[in-house]
Structure 1
């Protein structure tokens, strides 16, 4: 249907994506979901920033052969580009239905994939530092940590699809269907937040058990048959160890940034479509856009290619990272490890 430009409103006519295709006297911007034009500068900035990061990720991912990590992070970054590109279009035409759907779906799904890219590193970090302190066998980590992320993506994608269909059909928006979509989106974000807190808690427990386990081992005089105080150093003593520690700091900060974004998104969705929080673009650009961008920057700058080569699918690169200090020569998950060096040997390493 073409835009209505005369002053006579047909009986039963309501502004919506099916009746409005651009801003006009009968289709004012105030009646859109977001209540105003998006900022062209803000949206374009995020498109440019994520595009530059995606180029770097493709190069680093290919060199590192970290396919799962690179895949999740790359798709997440591409989703952010697509989402903000949709907002660039809506900065000119807030009634563009296709752009509305694109930005809705991709900006709700992108951060979940960022979280998944972090989750895939947990298994390898546990193997590196010693699986004996983990409640869960390393082989189960992808199921426990990444599996729920995928489930959250499915819920949010379904919610986005239902919401899009509710607002884009013939006639006025289907409020019942819109409420279902909104509920699914909210459930997906809540589930993602709960899962991230749970998985983060498991990693904190692992670190606590490892720290106290190493202290106990040192108190008892080291492992059987060893005269050294401890067979595994409690602090980073080689350049490789320090790089891994830096990588852990980076993914921790990225993880927290995604959690902040989820905390913001919950009340935004809970209040329903067109609420004041949803229409506050500045808050969105800070608590969603900036948080996700910070996470993507950290995961790109402190890429496993340089800071945690053990994550690589390339065995030569994996072993070039040095022996995992917590494996003590064990064959973990099919990886044939060299025997861990003593603290003195590790301090003498180049």
Structure 2
């Protein structure tokens, strides 16, 4: 008999994690194909790796339904808690690349490519480490309260940096000097930029919703009303992340960042 309820404080659904794993597996294939087809930069594989991590997390969740263990539960928690940080990192890299390739002179340090890339990258790594520490500790009853507060701190930090990043993104979006390379179906650079910014803003908003849910879940505590509502996890966490992948796949942004040779040609003809 499964002892999964000892870890979840409820009996988890058996079919939903299998469906979720299958859906994320689809995006592994789609995004890999798009990245190869459009010769996108290697950092676009962040999306593929994140989808893989989500799929693995749900496969472990499906296994726990039948036979749970502390090791599996901790591993599942980390695989489903941490991967969205990589999506945030992907968004940071996209805006950093737009700023870098546009080569717009500025005295504002927060609009410099290196600051955007490394500052938000650093915040993402810090949040990742804090959340992973708290998530691991929460699986152990003796350290559950301490782990909850650590994970909450990591999520709160992430929310603050999400807000800062969104502000930077809006500034870049409104400034016509920041340009985006046209994709296969874009009418012009303006349309390309509008599409790309829509992708980044909408996915960041979804990640924000997911983080707010996680904050509420951890604040409510292990076994609380929010934690015990499995549907809330699938709606505000899994579905939010899944919608991000839908957006990334339908409005693929990898072809907006051509190789160095293509980029230099574009800049030469645009000056």
Question: Where do 5+ consecutive residues of structure 2 fail to align?
Answer: 180-185
Bigger CA drift: 261-270 or 182-191? 182-191
Q: CA deviation at 1:257?
A: 0.7
Secondary structure class of the residue paired with 2:8:
coil
Q: Map 1:132-281 onto structure 2 (within 5 A).
A: 132=105, 135=108, 136-164=111-139, 167=140, 173-174=141-142, 177-208=143-174, 210=175, 238-281=187-230
Answer yes or no: is 1:286 the counterpart of 2:238: no
Q: CA deviation at 1:129?
A: 4.9
Bigger CA drift: 38-47 or 237-246? 237-246
2:260 is matched with which residue? 315
**Contact 1:82 1:102 survives alignment (8 Å):** no
Match of 1:57 among 8, 25, 31: 31
Structure 2 CA distance for aligned equivalents of residues 134 and 116 of structure 1 = 24
Structure 2 CA distance for aligned equivalents of residues 105 and 204 of structure 1 = 32
Which of the two has higher C-alpha Rg?
1
- Taking structure 2 as the reference length, the TM-score comes to 0.86
- Taking structure 1 as the reference length, the TM-score comes to 0.68
Aligned residues: 262
Structure 1 CA distance for aligned equivalents of residues 114 and 187 of structure 2 = 28
The Cα RMSD (Å) is 2.5
Q: Map 1:33-182 onto structure 2 (within 5 A).
A: 33-63=7-37, 64-70=39-45, 72-93=46-67, 95-129=68-102, 131-132=104-105, 135=108, 136-164=111-139, 167=140, 173-174=141-142, 177-182=143-148
2:183 is matched with which residue? none
Structure 2 CA distance for aligned equivalents of residues 205 and 241 of structure 1 = 15
Change over 3 Å in CA distance of 1:134–1:254 after alignment to 2 = farther
Question: Where do 5+ consecutive residues of structure 1 fail to align?
Answer: 1-21, 168-172, 215-231, 324-336, 342-350
| Higher relative helix content | 2
Structure 2 CA distance for aligned equivalents of residues 51 and 121 of structure 1 = 23
1:340 is matched with which residue? 270
Bigger CA drift: 155-164 or 113-122? 155-164
Answer yes or no: is 1:297 the counterpart of 2:246: yes
